[in-house]
Amino acid sequence: MIMESTKSRSWVVAMMQLVALLLMEASSCSSISTTTKPPATATATATATEAASTVAAPQIGTGFCQMFVTSSAYSCSEYSVETDDGYLLAVQRIDAVTPPVATAKGPAFLYHGIMEGGEIWVMNPGQESLAFTLASAGYQVWIGNTRSSKYTFGHITFQRQDKEFWSWCWDDLVSKDLPTMLQFVHSSTQQPVYYVGYSQGAMTAFAAFSQGPLVNLVAKAAMLSPVSHVNHITSPVALAACWMFADQILLAAGLFEFNLNSEAGFKFLDIVCTSPQVDCTNDLLSQITGPNCCLNETRMPFYDLYGFQSTSMQNLAQMAQMVRTGGFGKYDFGFWGNLVAYQSLFPPQYDLSAIPASLPMLLAHGGNDTLSDPQDVANLISVLQGDPVIVYVPDYAHGDFVIGSNAGTLVYQHILAFFET
């Protein structure tokens, strides 16, 4: 009897392992890309000069420098770096040319938030933009662009209209995009990198820095509107979307690319606008970010031209999962899928307390930010081992930190001081 049950149990285990193997591909956010994994290229570790010659024929990534860096006081160049799943990420480098900057302060890497690209750092003129502020202060400014950014150079195999192009979630930004770009900047400059992350760009760094060696490339980190555990977000649109399971509805409808100005976006708004908490007749931006105090109204049409880019449905779904569970974990595939992907019923969590205390960190957050809620930021601070410098701006909402017209004095000056001491 005993032998028999052991035998049948081992048979069941063997079958489960087989099924698990078969399902493994389907249970990874980047499943499709990994099955067509291209031969590794050395682009991401090339030096700046080498990388300059590898800039791919621009498709969508055309013209970041021409569009946003029009002042002759700055030089701007673009690089293409390839992730190991075949995305050609755009990285721009901006340096101050005039007046000549005497002291080179090292590389600064700026990483944007969800549904935007690297342009968010250069939308305002001069000292109202963090990229120009840092360049004028003597930093080599490197701007990152996630795989979904308009300014990336696409994918080696897939087009943006392909479903496969959008088959990834936030975990892939943690494990692929950020390391690829940060290693590129580090190996191009051979210096520790000053990191600036905004919103999802901060969130991604928290997760990546908690996982080991990448953090060793970083000198200091400034996180703006930091997001990690999101138990307390108050954004009416985000909350309605999460609790009405808009992500699940859209995924089930077979949509894979999410853009507020597309079919998926309209369906999304159809769902969230039925919530009494959301006022869809009102300014949509404030309904998402909180009431931004300090945007220059005259420039709103310009911001609107570039605002709200696409992201993947799976990325959005992962954010929604975190809101619903209060966790800070990997993609939740459901019990069976989790068993297959992670050998546990629940997705593994990123451990914020594993970020080394030795990493100097600044957290800048706002009193009216409905996505990076003060209570969530307080929880984040309590979990971190280090003792971050806190910059609190009571009137600021989510958008003010990157395009607020007074962010130069209220935020960027603090970042400069933090980097230099």
Question: Encoding tokens for residue 367?
Answer: 């009193």
d(CA 187, CA 217): 9
d(CA 174, CA 164): 19
Q: Name the phi and psi angles at 327, rounded to 5.
A: -90, 175
Residue 197 sits at the vertex; the CA angle it makes with 194 and 201, to the nearest 5 degrees, is: 135
Beta carbon of residue 393, minimum distance to ligand NAG (angstroms, whole number): 9
Find, among 307, 316, 128, the residue nearest to 237 by Cα.
Answer: 316
Phi-psi domain of 242 (left: phi exceeds 0; alpha: psi -120 through 50; beta: other):
alpha
Question: Encoding tokens for residue 204?
Answer: 């991604």
Paired with 53 in beta bridges are none
Of 124 and 140, nearer to ligand NAG (C-beta) is: 124
Residues in the chain: 421
Beta carbon of residue 282, minimum distance to ligand NAG (angstroms, whole number): 13
Q: Note whether 115 and 308 are within 8 A (CB).
A: yes
Residue nearest to ligand NAG (CB): 367
DSSP 409: I
Cis peptide before 100 (omega within 30 of 0): no
279 annotated active-site: no
x/- mask, ligand NAG, residues 367-406, rule CB under 6 A, reads xx-------------------------xx---------x-
Beta carbon of residue 110, minimum distance to ligand NAG (angstroms, whole number): 21
Of 272 and 407, nearer to ligand NAG (C-beta) is: 407
175 annotated active-site: no
x/- mask, ligand NAG, residues 276-305, rule CB under 6 A, reads ---------------x----x-xx------
3-state helix, strand, coil in the chain (%, to 5): 45, 15, 40
Residues 351-370 that bind ligand NAG (CB under 6 A): 367-368
Of 117 and 404, nearer to ligand NAG (C-beta) is: 404
Beta carbon of residue 13, minimum distance to ligand NAG (angstroms, whole number): 55
Strand runs (DSSP E) across 145-217, as ranges? 193-198
Beta carbon of residue 296, minimum distance to ligand NAG (angstroms, whole number): 4
- Report if residue 157 touches ligand NAG, rule: CB under 6 A: no
Out of 30, 199, 225, 312, pick the active-site residue: 199
Of 39 and 394, nearer to ligand NAG (C-beta) is: 394
Out of 112, 229, 365, 398, pick the active-site residue: 398
398 annotated active-site: yes
Enzyme catalytic residues: 199, 369, 398
Q: Give me the residues that bind ligand NAG (CB under 6 A), please.
A: 291, 296, 298-299, 367-368, 394-395, 405
